[in-house]
Amino acid sequence: MRRSLRFWRRSIGARIIVLFLGLLLVVQLASFAALRARFAEHARQALPTRLVEGERLLQNLLDRNAQRVTDGARLLAADYGFREALASNDGETIVSVLANHGARIGATEVALLSTDFKLRSTTAPHPADLAAVAGQLAVPAADAGRASTIALLAGRPYQSVLVPVKAPLVVGWVLMAFPLDAQLVGDMRNLSGIDLTVLSRTRTDRPWNVALTSLEGARAASLARDGWAGGTPAAGLTTAAALGEELGVRAIALGGARDGAEVLALVSLSVDDAVRLPADLQLALVAINLVAIVVFALGSVVTARRVTTPLRGLADAAERLGAGDYETPMQGQQRDDELGELSQSFERMRISIAENQEQILRLAYWDSLTGLPNRARFRDAVHEAIAKAGEGRTVALLMLNLDRFKHVNDVLGMRIGDKALMAIADRLTRAVARDGGLVARLSGDEFGILLRDGDVSSALSVARSVEQAMDAPLTLEDHHVDVGAGIGIACWPVHADSADALLVRTEMALVAAKRRTDGPLVYDPAIDVTSAQTLTLMTELRHAIDRHELRLYLQPKLALDDRRVLGAEALVRWQHPERGLVPPYQFIPFAEQTGFIRTLTQWVFEEAARHWQALAEEGLALQLSVNLSTRDLLDVELPQKFAALLARHHVPANAFCLEITESAVMDDPQRALVTLDALSAMGFKLSIDDFGTGYSSLSYLKRLPVDELKIDQSFVRNMHADPDDAMIVRSTIDLAHNLGILVVAEGVETATAWTMLRELRCDHAQGFHMGRPMPVADFIAWTVAWGVHPQGVEFDAARTLH
């Protein structure tokens, strides 16, 4: 029930069908009821007429009957032999002729009357009754030459006729009587469907006797019990109840009453039968209605289909739209009706949504400036590539971040910056086109390259192509812009097991590459603080201090002019019990990321202070350089900590040079400046490390309390080969000297470099050419071997905290 109700609510088709059939049934029932009522009314109205017609028919039948009998009697009367017998008054012959002719036509009562209607001879067993009938018919017969009536003979109704015998004048009369028989009521019933009942009684005060009837005997008897005094008026209708059935009745008096003897004919119709629809008509109606129901059912099913099929199609289409399929055109647009309009509207909506969707997708997945896929699209592409990569296939990812792009934007403006990005995008696209890589712009100055079937070597090859593409400076509206980029590389599945991890790790490699500024960098778990290896490393590093696994190394720093050893850069090395000496790039970056670098800085400074004392006792008065990280700079308590440390070891502040990278200062120049001012005030020497890799402006540099610049080793190393680098080195030296700042060259690995630097009037030098970073004991030994002892270096005792 509930299901069908739900079906009803949910299906327009079902409703149409039920509505159609329901309306049809209502119409059918209404028309059937109306028809029946009208028919009944009509039948009831027609009942008296029908009964009158029945009466007429009865009269007709009786007349014909009388005529037949009359004809029979006439035949007898005209029979020559009979007349001869009559003329000769031959009694026996007469009787035999009467019997013979009576038998011929079925008359049971035949009599010959004299001209004065006296019975002369007869075959009848009831001569008295016959004589009475003769008396009754005498007058009309004498008048009309013949007469007929229905009379009772022995209590039964007879059709009696009287005809003259002429020879050739009337010489007598023949009386013939036929009993009214079942033939009459049968004919009546067959010809008109009207029932006939003939009642008779010998005296008015006697009850009626049923002589003949086509009704059931009991019903006729019931009818006979009514009074029936006299006939019915011409158009009247008497109704009588007979055994519970209502009958319409007309009563007709037959024959003249004689001595109170009466014959009454009742023509009757069952009112119920008359008003009932005839069975064949009912059958026809039922058949028509059934056909109509079938036709309507089929019609409504077809109609419902015609409505619901397109609706279902539209619903499916809407589902498809909802599911994101905007490609399939709508069905049923060619229809001319409302559904066609709806389909057309849906089609317009589909096209509009598809366009919107395309626009959204473009916005969502494409970078509007460069026309390259954006980060989201790139991410999806990486997902797809990994999902589709088969067994044994790899996916390589490159990310590159433009160097100094912020600078370009700041100096040349956003418009040029945008053009630069477009040009770079174009170069990248062309550079990787050969390898089938996908280039995407991930953020402002960051691009990604997806190599769907790439591995580390192919990625490195692509990275080289990219670097080559970046070699030529961009020319933008008369501006020449040098571009370079840090490139990070990671591969699936060797470096990451999922697309997202691959993206993250490629980015880590990029960050590391940017920091290292040493060309493309392939992901290594060491650069990843989140890698299991790094986590282990981190734990171990924490313990390294307690377990005294860290070692202080010193790299000599010399005066270029006289090769004097001026000082040394204090560097940390980790002597791992299992791994051996861990290179600094394996733990310094994540120490920076995790903040552990501050502990390391403290440790280095502490060690440096301690060794300074030891060296001093050896007669080596050297200035030791200690590296500060960004995090150290941002630590507002750093000056106090350092002051406490100096006090603890009784060392002067000016015995130490604090090296800060250019980028560390640039991260938060305000706070850095505060810290640096404080440190400078305390007497520390300050040095800008890795100068040239950052973007610090010289005007800004001037404001810093800096004593020394360290030119980044990348310039120094290429100086002899690259005139640009040489130029940078020279400019930096000149600039620094103009500002009254000493210049230290790092990465001096050859005698050529040494010579060049000295010619460029660089102040100090540091590098493998002179000495690698080495344990303190080795350093002391090296100093002895170097031979040029530090001399004349005085540390401001007043500023030490003895």
The residues of the shown chain that bind another protein, judged by CB under 8 A, are 78, 80, 83-84, 86-87, 166-171
Concatenating the DSSP letter of every residue in 535-593 gives: HHHHHHHHHHHHTT-EEEEEEEEEETTT--EEEEEEEEEEEETTTEEEPHHHHHHHHHH
Q: Please check whether residue 733 is in contact with residue 725, taking contact to mean a CB–CB distance below 8 angstroms.
A: no
Residue 170 C-beta: closest distance to another protein, Å = 8
Pairwise CA distance, residues 147 & 137, whole Å: 6
Residue 166 C-beta: closest distance to another protein, Å = 7
CB closer to another protein, 94 vs 267: 94
CB closer to another protein, 161 vs 269: 161
Residue showing tokens 């009803």:
8
Residue 168 C-beta: closest distance to another protein, Å = 3
Residue 118 C-beta: closest distance to another protein, Å = 15
Residue 86 C-beta: closest distance to another protein, Å = 8
Residue 71 C-beta: closest distance to another protein, Å = 14
Pairwise CA distance, residues 429 & 448, whole Å: 11
CB closer to another protein, 67 vs 718: 67
CB closer to another protein, 87 vs 472: 87
CB closer to another protein, 83 vs 611: 83
What is the separation of C-alpha 632 from the centre of its chain, rounded to a whole number of angstroms? 58
Q: What is the CA radius of gyration of the chain?
A: 69
Pairwise CA distance, residues 442 & 426, whole Å: 15
Count of beta carbons in the 10 Å neighbourhood of residue 166: 13
Residue 80 C-beta: closest distance to another protein, Å = 5
Pairwise CA distance, residues 694 & 736, whole Å: 16
- Please give the biggest Cα pair distance in the chain: 209
CB closer to another protein, 116 vs 562: 116
Residue 139 C-beta: closest distance to another protein, Å = 17
CB closer to another protein, 171 vs 301: 171
**Mode of pairing for the β-strands spanning 245-258 and 474-476:** unpaired
Amino acid of residue 591 = A
- For the chain, the distance separating the N- and C-terminal CA atoms, rounded to the nearest angstrom, is 102
Residue 77 C-beta: closest distance to another protein, Å = 10
Q: Of 745, 690, 688, which is closest to residue 719 (Cα–Cα)? A: 745
Which residues contact residue 24 at a Cβ distance below 8 angstroms, ignoring those fewer than 6 apart? Answer: 292, 293, 296
Amino acid of residue 338 = E
Pairwise CA distance, residues 507 & 499, whole Å: 12
- Residue 445, H or E segment: none
The residues facing 12 across adjacent strands are: none
Which residues contact residue 443 at a Cβ distance below 8 angstroms, ignoring those fewer than 6 apart? Answer: 375
Pairwise CA distance, residues 788 & 780, whole Å: 12
What is the sign of the dihedral through the CA atoms of 189, 194, 195 and 196? Answer: negative
CB closer to another protein, 88 vs 755: 88
Check residue 652 and report its DSSP letter. Answer: B
CB closer to another protein, 168 vs 792: 168
Q: Of 587, 452, 477, which is closest to residue 525 (Cα–Cα)? A: 587
CB closer to another protein, 87 vs 351: 87
CB closer to another protein, 75 vs 538: 75
Residue 101 C-beta: closest distance to another protein, Å = 17
CB closer to another protein, 121 vs 593: 121
Residue 78 C-beta: closest distance to another protein, Å = 7
Residue 167 C-beta: closest distance to another protein, Å = 5
Give the tokens for residue 536.
């282990």
